[in-house]
Amino acid sequence: MAVIGIGAAVAGWIIFADRLLSPLYATGASIAVCIGGFIGMALLLKQQYAHRSGQIYASDLSAQIAQSIITYSPFPMAVLDHEGRFVTINDASSQLMGYRRGELMGEDFFTLLDNGNRQSVLEKLELVKQGAMQQTLTTIIHKTGFPLEIQLVLLPLSEGNNVTGALAIGQDISDRKRNNERIRYMAYYDDMTGLPNRRMFMMHFNEVLERAGDRFIGMLYLDIDQFKLINDSFGREFGDMLLLQVAERFTRGLSGEDMGARMEGDEFAIMFVSLHSEKELVEKARALLTTLEEPFEMQGFPFHVTASIGMATNCKDCDAGSIIKKADMALGRVKEQGRNDILLYSEDWNNSSLERLTLQHELKQGIQRNEFFLHYQPQYHLSTGKVVGLEALVRWQHPDRGLVPPGQFIPLAEESGMIVQLGEWVLEEACRQNKRWQDDGLLAVPVSVNLSIRQFMQQNLKDKIATILRETGLSPQYLELEITETMTMDVQYATQCLLELTRLGVSISIDDFGTGYSSLNYLKNLPIGRLKIDRSFVRDIQQDPGDAAIVAAIIAMAHNLNLQVIAEGVETEEQMNFLKQHACDEIQGYFWSPPLPSEQITQILVRN
């Protein structure tokens, strides 16, 4: 038998996980097939045997190799004759199709194909007869009747110039397809509820928004109230069971293009594609809450849950992400306001919260770029008119916004925690400046620095202040810390903290006195030097007898407790006279001086 090489044109094809099938060899009636590395091995063996023993002929060996490969190959293989009838078939093929080998020998391969595929495979076989390798995706019907998706490769078998048949190699890709579908499912659906997941929802929502035009589209972001508590109290399994039932109720009435999804945990999103108004969206949301009114049957018992819903609608150039964010924000507000309710997002919120975020970001930058500086407001002894102190007030020179008042950025700095860093800088700068004035031979008076509650709660506050005093060289009696009444609410902490501070030698005053919580009882036990009457009382001394009475009472009480009193925000002579009459010790306010830059304070100190 001659060894006839065929399929030289076969460049190789992909089989199971991209493994490459290399050129094939065939012998006349029986066929030798070599795959990949088998070729090299076969050729090597062939040479060795022919050379050494002289007994085994090359053609025999190739035939044996081909026979073995076909027989033992895990891939379904078959040899077809010119008419497409089975000449040889391996076990993998017969197993795949559910037949015994004997049943198929001599049978027409095409009868096994799905009707719809027959013609195209026939055409492929015609091309193979002309010497060209072909491959195609086809469906073979299993003996029991179910379809198998097969990747089919047909290789020409030739003797001389005549193609005598074809070697068919198949690969069952039904599994791969099933796996792909499974992977797709896992990627886009929530395993537990079977609902689309966040990814799928976002994708679909974006598609809907792109095609929305003038249509009104609304979405709800829902979350089960106190789900964590339910989970913690009854266990995860219970929680999952509940989620499953809730998911069913939420999505029960959805129609057409509307979509409900489980976003994560106990959060669901629902999009309504064909609404006419916000009113309709609100009605839908209310209806959803109503569906929860009927108790769930959990382990045989009725179980009540409520949910909260945030709503948002589409707008020009909005993408899914931003609408979801808005609905989520609305949901957050519902939660804050006591749950079990619905709320529609309002554009006004975004502006203010975006502005806050921007400002917070700029605040951070501002600290890094040293955009802050201090003004000082003199405090005067009322009867002598002498400067007795200076309050350091922080200022922010923003590169674009100009001078930003502390009322705008201090609360933000407090909220974000940046106040600690900023406050430390203020302390340091105020001490350094005060020391500079003293070094220049100017009047030595204490500088007052406002402390934020965050700073006050810092464990190492005392050490920080001690370090600042040491490093700036300012003597402690020239530093006063202003705290507010609320900081004294934790009496034990406040007492201990203030004692530590006063032991350093610094003094303490209570700022904005009268506006916060005051336990007058504790006031006498805390090491406080003076009270600063809030400017809101001072402002209306003239017009409001109540305020006048409060101011008078604070002064009297402070004196009884052996505390100094300073009135803030004194703007007029009448206010000053009233305070004088009631023996207030000191005043601070625009009437005698607004907060000023350090250079101008220098002038004032020189004059004093």
What residues are paired with 152 via a beta bridge? 136, 170
Site for ligand C2E in 448-477 (CB under 6 A): 450, 452
259-264 and 267-275 beta bridge pairing: antiparallel
Site for ligand C2E in 342-381 (CB under 6 A): 377
CA end-to-end span of the chain? 124
Helix (H, G, I), strand (E, B) or coil at 151: strand
Is residue 512 within the footprint of Mg ion (CB under 5 A)?
yes
CB of 408 to Mg ion, least distance (A): 16
H-only helix segments in 87-235: 91-97, 101-104, 115-129, 174-188, 198-210, 227-234
What mask of x and - would describe binding to ligand C2E in positions 499 to 538, judged by CB under 6 A?
------------xx----------------------x---
- Return the closest-CA partner of residue 97 out of 118, 111, 117: 111
CB of 475 to ligand C2E, least distance (A): 21
- Return the closest-CA partner of residue 476 out of 443, 442, 501, 459: 501
Select 190 or 568, whichever has its Cβ closest to ligand C2E.
Answer: 568
Token pair 């589209």 is found at 217
The only residue of 60, 81, 371, 571 in contact with ligand C2E, by rule CB under 6 A: 571
Ramachandran category for residue 373: left, alpha or beta (phi over 0 → left; psi -120 to 50 → alpha):
beta
Is residue 590 within the footprint of ligand C2E (CB under 6 A)?
yes
**Residue span binding ligand C2E (CB under 6 A) among the ranges 81-89, 258-266, 546-554, 568-576:** 568-576
Select 356 or 395, whichever has its Cβ closest to ligand C2E.
Answer: 395
* CA 445/CA 474 separation, integer angstroms: 11
CB of 268 to ligand C2E, least distance (A): 43
Is residue 511 within the footprint of Mg ion (CB under 5 A)?
yes
Select 85 or 395, whichever has its Cβ closest to ligand C2E.
Answer: 395
Angle at Cα 409 formed by Cα 403 and Cα 415, nearest 5°?
170
The only residue of 26, 209, 426, 528 in contact with ligand C2E, by rule CB under 6 A: 426
CB of 356 to ligand C2E, least distance (A): 17
Helix (H, G, I), strand (E, B) or coil at 156: strand
CB of 352 to Mg ion, least distance (A): 26
- Residues with Cβ < 8 Å from 243, sequence gap 6 or more? 192, 193, 224, 262, 266
For residues 371 and 425, the answer to whether their CB atoms sit within 8 Å is no
What mask of x and - would describe binding to Mg ion in positions 428 to 457, judged by CB under 5 A?
----------------------x-------
The only residue of 402, 407, 459, 573 in contact with ligand C2E, by rule CB under 6 A: 407
Site for Mg ion in 168-187 (CB under 5 A): none
**Residue span binding ligand C2E (CB under 6 A) among the ranges 127-135, 170-178, 334-342, 400-408:** 400-408
* CA 326/CA 396 separation, integer angstroms: 31
**Residue span binding Mg ion (CB under 5 A) among the ranges 25-33, 419-427, 475-483, 488-496:** 475-483
H-only helix segments in 53-149: 58-72, 91-97, 101-104, 115-129
Contacts with Mg ion by CB under 5 A lie at 450, 482, 511-512, 568
Contacts with ligand C2E by CB under 6 A lie at 377, 393-394, 405-407, 410, 423, 426, 450, 452, 482, 511-512, 535, 568-571, 589-590, 595
